Amino acid sequence: MPRKGQTLRFNLLAMFIAIIILQTSIPLIGYIPIGPLSITIISATVVIATILMGTLDGAIVGGAWGVLTFIRAFVWPTSPLATIVFVNPVVSVVPRILIGVVAGVTYQALRKRFKRQSVSISIAAVLGSLTNTVLVLGLIYVFYRANAPQLYQVNIKELLPYLLSVVGTNGIPEAIFCGVVAPLITLPLQRMLKGRL
């Protein structure tokens, strides 16, 4: 007999991956366009998975998003940014995985400190989302400062300030969004899954 909840965990992971596939293909539930910016709400999905199922599973869901971002940068890019930076698997995958790791570790550390669950979830979500932004920024800087060889051979050095500012300005509303929405979604789901994982 499978360990209690093992099949459920397996299927929950499958469903989260399905949701992320959906979010990367349907703008309405994946991205919120605000003026020239387009903030992603997928990082919230990774945070929610992390808090419901734990750090490892959160990292897996984040990784799935990363791999999808990577593949999409070739097959169906959504922005010039994607064609330039996300064709590098390190930039597209690693930060996404670390959303789960950072959110998970933060949540575990805080959950007993705050009486209200929503506070610790919110903080974990903000930090998780910021991890993504900061790492994408950092990795772009590391990789392209020195004009490393890259797929489309665009002269990125000159573009660097532009890239960094786009990622940076998206990052702030993204983190706020995550912080507000993650607890609102996670709490009812926790209630549904109580004692079953």
Partner 1 sequence: MQNIIEVNKISYNYPERSLLFDNLSLNVREGEWLALIGQNGSGKSTLARLIDGLLVLKSGAITVDGLPVNDENINEIRNRIGIVFQNPEDQFVGATVEDDVAFGLENRQVPREQMHEIVEKSLKSVGMWQFRERIPANLSGGQKQRVAIAGIIALHPKIIILDEATSMLDPQGRNDILQLVRDLKEDNHLTVISITHDIDEAAGADRVVILNQGQIIDENTPDGIFAQPQRLKQIGLDAPYPAKVIEALSRRGITSDKQYMNDEELIAWIKQLVSRM
Partner 2 sequence: MDKAISLKNVTHTYQANTPFAQNALDNVTLNIEKGEFTAIIGHTGSGKSTLVQHINALLKPTTGSLNVLGKVITPTTTNKNLKAFRKQVGMVFQFPEKQLFEETVIKDIMFGPKNYGATDEQARHSAEHAMKLVGLDHSLSNKSPFDLSGGQMRRVAIAGVLAMDPEILILDEPTAGLDPRGHNEIMDLAKYLNQQQHMTIILITHQMDDVVNYATNVVVMDQGQAVKIGPPDTIFTDLDWLRKMQLDLPSSAEFARKLESAGIAFDQLPLTVNQLVDRVAQLVGKKAAHE
Partner 3 sequence: MSNFIFGRYLPGHSWIHRMSPQSKLLLSFYFVIVIFFANNGYSYGLLSALIVFVILMSGVSIAYFLKGIRPLIWLIVFTVLLQVLFSSGGHVLWHFGPFSITDQSLINGGFIFIRFLLIIMISTVLTLTTTPLAIADGVQTVLKPLKKVKFPVDTLALMLSIALRFVPTLMDEMETILNAQRARGVDFGSGSLKHRVKAAVPLLVPLFTGAINHAENLSTAMEARGFSDSEHRTKYRLYKWQFRDTISWIVFLLVGGLVLVFRKY
Which residues of the shown chain bind partner 1 in the complex (CB under 8 A)?
1, 194-195
Smallest distance, Å, CB 188 to partner 2? 5
* 18 touching partner 2, by CB under 8 A: no
Binding residue (CB under 8 A) for partner 3 from 51, 56, 76, 115:
76
Within 161-190, which residues bind partner 2 (CB under 8 A)? 187-188
* 195 touching partner 3, by CB under 8 A: no
Partner from partner 1, partner 2, partner 3, none binding residue 28, C-beta < 5-8 Å depending on class: partner 3
Partner from partner 1, partner 3, partner 2, none binding residue 79, C-beta < 5-8 Å depending on class: partner 3
* 26 touching partner 2, by CB under 8 A: no
Q: How far is CA 127 from the centre of its chain?
A: 11
Q: How many residues bind partner 2 (CB under 8 A)?
A: 4
Q: What are phi and psi of 34, to 5 degrees?
A: -130, 105
Partner from partner 1, partner 3, partner 2, none binding residue 160, C-beta < 5-8 Å depending on class: none
Residue 87 DSSP SS3: coil
Q: What are phi and psi of 194, to 5 degrees?
A: -45, 125
How far apart (Å, rounded) are the C-alpha atoms in residues 178 and 130? 10
Candidates 25-33, 107-115, 116-124, 129-137 — which segment interacts with partner 3 by CB under 8 A? 25-33
Q: Which of 12, 94, 100, 4 is nearest to 51 (CA)?
A: 100
Residue 49, amino acid: A
Is the Cβ–Cβ distance between 106 and 127 less than 8 Å? yes
DSSP of 128-183: HHHHHHHHHHHHHHHHHTTT---TT---HHHHHHHHHHHHHHHHHHHHHHHHHHHH
| Chain positions contacting partner 3, by CB under 8 A | 1-2, 7-8, 10-19, 21-22, 25-29, 32, 34, 41, 44, 48, 72, 74-80, 83-84, 149, 151-155, 158-159, 173, 177, 180-181, 184-185, 188-189, 192-193, 196
